[in-house]
Amino acid sequence: MTATSVTRTAPAHVPPALAQWVEEMASLTRPNSIVWCDGSDEERQGLIDRMIDAGTLTRLNPELRPNSYLARSNPSDVARVESRTFICTDEEDGAGPTNNWADPASMRETLHGLFDGAMKGRTMYVMPFAMGPVGGALTRYGVQVTDSPYVVLSTGVMTRMGAAPLAQIAAGAPWVPAAHTVGAPLEPGQEDVAWPCNDTKYIVQFPSTREIWSYGSAYGGNAILAKKAFALRIATALGHDEGWLAAHMLLMRVTDPEGRSRHVAAGFPSACGKTNFAMMRPAVDGWKVETLGDDISWIGPDSDGRLRAINPEAGFFGVAPGTSTDTNPVAMETLVSDTVFTNVALTDDGDVWWEGMTKEPPAHLIDWQGNDWTPESGTPAAHPNARFTVGAQHCPTIADNWDDPDGVVLDAIVFGGRRKTQIPLVAQAYDWKHGVLMGASLASEQTAAAEGPVGKLRRDPLAMLPFSGIHMADHFADWLRVGGQARDVPAVFHVNWFRRDAEGNILWPGFGENIRVLKWALGRLDGSATAERTPFGWLPGEGEIDYADAGVSDEQWRRLMALDAEGLAEEAEDMSEYLDGFGDRVPAELRSALHLRQRALDSES
């Protein structure tokens, strides 16, 4: 590596295979220097100071928001780029119809061409990281190289990064190689920009070799490769081979007034309320919700055959717009310090603001693109997908077992989407197979968290549409297999917080009132709550949910729970056609569960 001067030599206990891979990446990308990250506070502060000098970060008012910073991305680099995300399985059919597939050999040739010299003039950072508590049974490890200090800072928040994971790798733990570059090499004397990136973008997963390559973006899951790329896309391939599940699900502990605690995982599409649900402040006295994770869960059987779950992440990468003391007071308390905000607005006194944070906007702001902004500007002050990145330890409701290496036993699983019509507020699946069908049938109105027209309805099976690294039908089969082999499976529920009336008003108040739905659901576990069997699933028995105390009228409740047999029959037919698109890999048990629903609906009409 004659073109590379090493500013920090590799630690002595680095395994030869890892040292060789880093050397190969450095020879390809030709950085000016290499830094092996140790995850220390001193390292973090050095990165922050460097980015402030470069204009990448703005220090917020320390009296208002201690140890917190604002980043503004390039306007072309603001969200997941699903159209540029590829799953390169050996054969095209292995990726399935929900993924963009590319031939692995051709893609490698393309990536090697793009990575050739891509880090010139920059520093290559080497980040060993753990997905899950270090040493845990479900924990897996990775190493990412990157030339973005913003990505290093973010990965240090979102994972256990540094010396401890490296020690596990040195002791023989398998690891996933993840290569990232912003694709903006610097020639001698060339001035850098605050947010380097490239208009050409690739986020590429090679499931069979457990590799991740990302080029051109520095934003979120495009570049923090431990997040969606590893924790979901590569992890689905790992779980498929090893007998566990990678799920796009929050994880929470719910304790009732008698002191009984249950653990719940819940899967919603992005920007549909996962963080709000995970950090719920219950509106009913005596109930307590504690947070274990707000985005991703890994679920697998323990030695007793029970399904356990961990949160593989160590922080929150949440959507800021819409978050307020009314919608999520716990999140607002989590963000009081030690937070990196991206693409929010800056107030005149050095704090942050975004749409929905207060009822009235400030008279003047600097918007997410660095421009003067007033309420008359006619444009959002914060980008609709503006984010906050903060360590889980800062959450006031974080559960004391959130990073238990053994994980937690799951009692219930909840699926939900953003639906204006058809789907009732809550229903329970008849059994595990029906629950998997409920998850596979998820549909939601598009949000700003991904590319595409906002508001358009799209199927998002198991909330995994952009995140499965294997054929989606194989992922369905994994859910059926893992549940089928478990001694006790969690009860499965479907919720819809977003049903509207004829005037377009949301019928259910949501947020803290959602505890009323959870109360009924958890009551179903011990049979203390009654239910009525319907073609969609078990619905709450009369009087089981105190909707009036939540401010919901009798008429609104009827609309919330109404089942339109004709509409649901059309929905079931649409789901049948959707499954047809996955071909003969669709598990027979899933088609059987859908057939039973269709038959029940036919008998109702």
Which domain CATH number covers 34?
Answer: 3.40.449.10
Active site residue 88: no
Which of the following is catalytic: 37, 88, 272, 395? 272
The answer to whether residue 113 is domain-embedded is yes
Q: For residues 174 and 596, give the distance between their C-alpha atoms in angstroms, rounded to a whole number.
A: 43
Q: In 3D, which of 476, 467, 469 has the Cα closest to residue 432?
A: 476
Whether 449 has a pLDDT exceeding 70, the answer reads no
Its pTM stands at 0.95
Percent of the chain's residues with pLDDT above 70: 97
Both 224 and 306 in one domain: the answer is: no
The answer to whether residue 324 is domain-embedded is no
Both 252 and 237 in one domain: the answer is: no
Residues 6+ apart with CB under 8 A from 463: 248, 249, 267, 268, 269, 270, 415, 417, 439, 442
Say if strands 412-416 and 491-495 run parallel, antiparallel, or are unpaired: parallel
Determine contact, residues 249/297, Cβ cutoff 8 Å.
yes
Q: For residues 73 and 58, give the distance between their C-alpha atoms in angstroms, rounded to a whole number.
A: 12
Q: In 3D, which of 375, 490, 504, 381 has the Cα closest to residue 439?
A: 490
Q: CATH number for the domain including 266?
A: 3.90.228.20
**Predicted pLDDT at 446:** 63
Degrees to nearest 5, angle at CA 514 with 408 and 390: 60
Mean pLDDT score, 374-397: 97
Whether 456 has a pLDDT exceeding 90, the answer reads no
Residue bearing tokens 């997905």:
131
Mean pLDDT score, 178-204: 97
Both 138 and 263 in one domain: the answer is: no
Both 310 and 437 in one domain: the answer is: yes
Higher pLDDT, 333 or 451: 333
How large is the angle between the packed helices 472-485 and 235-242, nearest 10 degrees? Answer: 40
Residues paired with residue 245 on neighbouring β-strands, in sequence order: 299
Mean pLDDT computed over every residue of the chain: 95
Both 92 and 215 in one domain: the answer is: yes
Under the banding of pLDDT at 50, 70 and 90, the label for residue 1 is very low
Residues 6+ apart with CB under 8 A from 476: 436, 440, 461, 462, 586, 587, 590
Residues paired with residue 580 on neighbouring β-strands, in sequence order: none
Both 218 and 272 in one domain: the answer is: no
The answer to whether residue 601 is domain-embedded is no
Mean pLDDT score, 208-220: 97
Instruction: Say how many domains are in the chain.
Output: 2
Residue pLDDT, tens place only, 404-423: 999 999 999 999 999 999 89
Degrees to nearest 5, angle at CA 130 with 126 and 131: 125
Both 236 and 252 in one domain: the answer is: no
Q: What is the CA radius of gyration of the chain?
A: 24
In the numeric block, which tokens belong to residue 73?
A: 């991305």
**Predicted pLDDT at 4:** 43
Both 266 and 160 in one domain: the answer is: no
Q: What residue numbers bound the domain in which 520 lies?
A: 246-315+400-574
Under the banding of pLDDT at 50, 70 and 90, the label for residue 2 is very low
Both 196 and 233 in one domain: the answer is: yes
Both 187 and 120 in one domain: the answer is: yes
Determine contact, residues 308/486, Cβ cutoff 8 Å.
no
The answer to whether residue 342 is domain-embedded is no
The answer to whether residue 523 is domain-embedded is yes
Both 141 and 287 in one domain: the answer is: no
Residue pLDDT, tens place only, 78-116: 998 999 999 999 999 999 999 999 999 999 999 999 999
Residue pLDDT, tens place only, 431-445: 999 999 999 999 987
**Predicted pLDDT at 452:** 52
In the numeric block, which tokens belong to residue 308?
A: 């356990």
Determine contact, residues 344/354, Cβ cutoff 8 Å.
yes
In three-state secondary structure terms, 36 is strand
**CA-CA-CA-CA torsion sign (412, 413, 416, 422):** negative
In three-state secondary structure terms, 403 is coil
Residue pLDDT, tens place only, 146-177: 999 999 999 999 999 999 999 999 999 999 99
Residue pLDDT, tens place only, 551-566: 999 999 999 999 998 8
Q: For residues 466 and 231, give the distance between their C-alpha atoms in angstroms, rounded to a whole number.
A: 13
Residue pLDDT, tens place only, 517-527: 999 999 999 99
The answer to whether residue 588 is domain-embedded is no
The answer to whether residue 594 is domain-embedded is no
The answer to whether residue 64 is domain-embedded is no
Both 452 and 307 in one domain: the answer is: yes
Of the residues 222, 242, 262, which one is the last residue of a structural domain?
Answer: 242
The phi, psi pair for 574, rounded to 5°, reads -65, -40
**Predicted pLDDT at 454:** 52
